[in-house]
C-alpha cells in the first residue's frame, strides 16, 4: 500500500512550488470560473502503472468537488490508450492539479515499468531484483512502493531496520569479526548483511552464518563459486549480487543461484512512463 502521509507531503510540496508566485495565471485568464471538464489519464507508452492514488489525493488538495474514478490497479501492465482514471469537476482546479499528479504518477510508473523488465528477465530462477536506498529525499516510500508494484522487493527502508556491514565499517574496527560482534551485541534482533569483495572474505564471513552476504562486483564465474561456498558452509545464508548490474547480464547472475540482484538504478536513474491527461470526447 502506498503510504499516504509521505505522499501527501510530496503533493503539497509540488503544489506549493506551482503556486509560489500566485494563481495559475494562464488557466485563470483562459478558463471561465464556472467551466467543468471531464478528462482521462492515459498512457502514451506500454508499461506498469504505480501510484494511481496520487490522482485523487492531488485533485482533492485543490478541490473536493473533483470526482475521480480509477479503472486500473497499481501493478497492472498497461498499453497506450488505456484509460487509467477519469476526473470530472471544475476545469480550473483540474488543470492546476494536473502537473503535480502526473509528475508523481509517471515517476512511480517509470520505476514499476523498469522493475518489471528485470522481473521478467529473472523469471524461472529463484533470484529477485532488489532496490537500494539510492532515492531522492522525500521520494523513498513512493519509489520503493513502485518497485514492489513492478515485482521487485525492497532492501532497507532506512538505516535502522537492518544491519549492513560494509568496507568502511570493517576498516574502522579492524575486522569483519569485530564489526559483526558489535552489531550483534547492540542490535541482536535486526537482520544482518555483510558486504564482501572476494571469495576469501566470503569464506571468513560465512562462519558467522549471517542472514545475507552481498557479493560486491563479483564476476559471474566468481558468483557461481560463491554460491557453491555458501551451499557448503552456510546454506541458510542468502546471497545478493551487487555492483553495476545491467539487464543484459541479469539472467547470467540469476542462474548462478544467488537470491537477489541489487539494482540501485531502479530508483536513481528513473525514466518516467509517459502518461497524459486528455479531455474526454
Contacts 24+ apart (CB under 8 A), 92-95: 92/24, 92/27, 92/28, 92/31, 92/33, 92/35, 93/59, 93/62, 93/63, 93/65, 93/66, 94/37, 94/39, 94/59, 94/62, 94/66, 94/277, 95/24, 95/27, 95/31, 95/37
Which one is catalytic: 134, 156, 182, 224? 134
Please report the pLDDT score of residue 235 as a whole number: 98
Rounded CA-CA distance 61/104 in Å is 14
Span 32-66, pLDDT tens digits: 999 999 999 999 999 999 999 999 999 999 999 99
Please state whether beta strands 212-216 and 192-196 pair in parallel, antiparallel, or not at all (unpaired): parallel
Q: Is 182 a catalytic residue?
A: no
Rounded CA-CA distance 50/112 in Å is 6
Q: Is 32 a catalytic residue?
A: no
Which one is catalytic: 12, 99, 156, 224? 99
Which one is catalytic: 166, 182, 224, 251? 166
- Looking at residues 195-215, what average pLDDT do you find? 95
Span 113-127, pLDDT tens digits: 999 999 999 999 999
Q: Is 117 a catalytic residue?
A: no
Which one is catalytic: 121, 195, 240, 259? 195
Span 213-228, pLDDT tens digits: 999 999 999 999 999 9
Give me the domains of the chain, ranges plus CATH numbers: 4-112+271-279 (3.90.1170.20), 120-268 (3.20.20.70)
Q: What is the pTM of this model?
A: 0.95
Which one is catalytic: 74, 216, 240, 259? 216
- Looking at residues 104-119, what average pLDDT do you find? 98
Nearest to 257 by CA among 281, 275, 230: 230
Amino acid at each position: 500500500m502506498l503510504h499516504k502521509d509521505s505522499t501527501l507531503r510530496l503533493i503539497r510540496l509540488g503544489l506549493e512550488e506551482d503556486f509560489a508566485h500566485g494563481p495559475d495565471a494562464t488557466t485563470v485568464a483562459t478558463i471561465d470560473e464556472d467551466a467543468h471538464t471531464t478528462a482521462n489519464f492515459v498512457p502514451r507508452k506500454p508499461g506498469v502503472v504505480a501510484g494511481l492514488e496520487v490522482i485523487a489525493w492531488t485533485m482533492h488538495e485543490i478541490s473536493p468537488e473533483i470526482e475521480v474514478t480509477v479503472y486500473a490497479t497499481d501493478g497492472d501492465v498497461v498499453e497506450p490508450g488505456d484509460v487509467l482514471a477519469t476526473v470530472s469537476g471544475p476545469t480550473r482546479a483540474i488543470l492546476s492539479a494536473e502537473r503535480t499528479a502526473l509528475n508523481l504518477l509517471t515517476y512511480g510508473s517509470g520505476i514499476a515499468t523498469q522493475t518489471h523488465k528485470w522481473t521478467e528477465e529473472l523469471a524461472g530462477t529463484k533470484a529477485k531484483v532488489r532496490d537500494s536506498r539510492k532515492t531522492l529525499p522525500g521520494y523513498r516510500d513512493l519509489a520503493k512502493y513502485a518497485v514492489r508494484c513492478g515485482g521487485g522487493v525492497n532492501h532497507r527502508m532506512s538505516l535502522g531496520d537492518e544491519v549492513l556491514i560494509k568496507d568502511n565499517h570493517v576498516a574502522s574496527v579492524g575486522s569483519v569479526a569485530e564489526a559483526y560482534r558489535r552489531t550483534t551485541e547492540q542490535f541482536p534482533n535486526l537482520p544482518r548483511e555483510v558486504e564482501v569483495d572476494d571469495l576469501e572474505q566470503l569464506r571468513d564471513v560465512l562462519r558467522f552464518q549471517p542472514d545475507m552476504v552481498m557479493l560486491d562486483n563479483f564476476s559471474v564465474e566468481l558468483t557461481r563459486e560463491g554460491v557453491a561456498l555458501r551451499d557448503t558452509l552456510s546454506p541458510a545464508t542468502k546471497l545478493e549480487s551487487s555492483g553495476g548490474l545491467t539487464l543484459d547480464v541479469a539472467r547470467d547472475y540469476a542462474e548462478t543461484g544467488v537470491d537477489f540482484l541489487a539494482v540501485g538504478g531502479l530508483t536513481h536513474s528513473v525514466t518516467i512512463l509517459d502518461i497524459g491527461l486528455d479531455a474526454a470526447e
